[in-house]
Amino acid sequence: MEFKFYGHACFSVTLADGKVLLFDPFITGNPLAGSVDADAIRADYILVSHGHGDHTGDLMAIAKRTGALVISNAEITDWVKEEGYENVHPMNFGSRQFDFGMVHYVPATHSSSLPDGSYGGNPGGFIVETGEKTFYYTGDTSLTMEMQLVPYYARVDVAIMPVGGNFTMDYKQAVIASDFIKCNKVIGVHFDTFGYIVIDQKAAVQAFKEKNKELILPEIGQSILL
Beta carbon of residue 123, minimum distance to Ni ion (angstroms, whole number): 7
User: What mask of x and - would describe binding to Ni ion in positions 42 to 61, judged by CB under 5 A?
Assistant: ----------x---------
Contact 156, 183 (CB under 8 A): yes
Q: Which of 140, 154, 160, 205 binds Ni ion (CB under 5 A)?
A: 140
| Partner whose footprint covers residue 170, from Mn ion, Ni ion, none (CB < 5 to 8 Å by kind) | none
Label residue 63 left, alpha or beta by phi (over 0 means left) and psi (-120 to 50 means alpha): alpha
Q: Please work out the total of residues on this chain that contact Mn ion, with binding judged by CB under 5 A.
A: 2
Q: Which is nearer to Ni ion, 111 or 223 (CB)?
A: 111
Report the distance separating Cα 23 and Cα 14, nearest Å: 11
Q: Which is nearer to Mn ion, 54 or 170 (CB)?
A: 54
Scanning 15-23, 30-38, 88-96, 137-145 for contacts with Mn ion by CB under 5 A, the matching segment is 137-145
Contact 161, 116 (CB under 8 A): no
Instruction: List CB contacts of 174: < 8 A, sequence separation 6 or more.
Output: 143, 161, 162, 163, 186, 188, 215
Length of the chain: 226
Residue 149 CA neighbour count, 13 Å, CB half: 10
Q: Which is nearer to Mn ion, 55 or 104 (CB)?
A: 55
Q: Which is nearer to Ni ion, 134 or 193 (CB)?
A: 193
Q: Answer yes or no whether residue 140 interacts with Mn ion by CB under 5 A.
A: yes
Judged by the rule CB under 5 A, the positions of this chain that interact with Ni ion are: 52, 140
Judged by the rule CB under 5 A, the positions of this chain that interact with Mn ion are: 54, 140
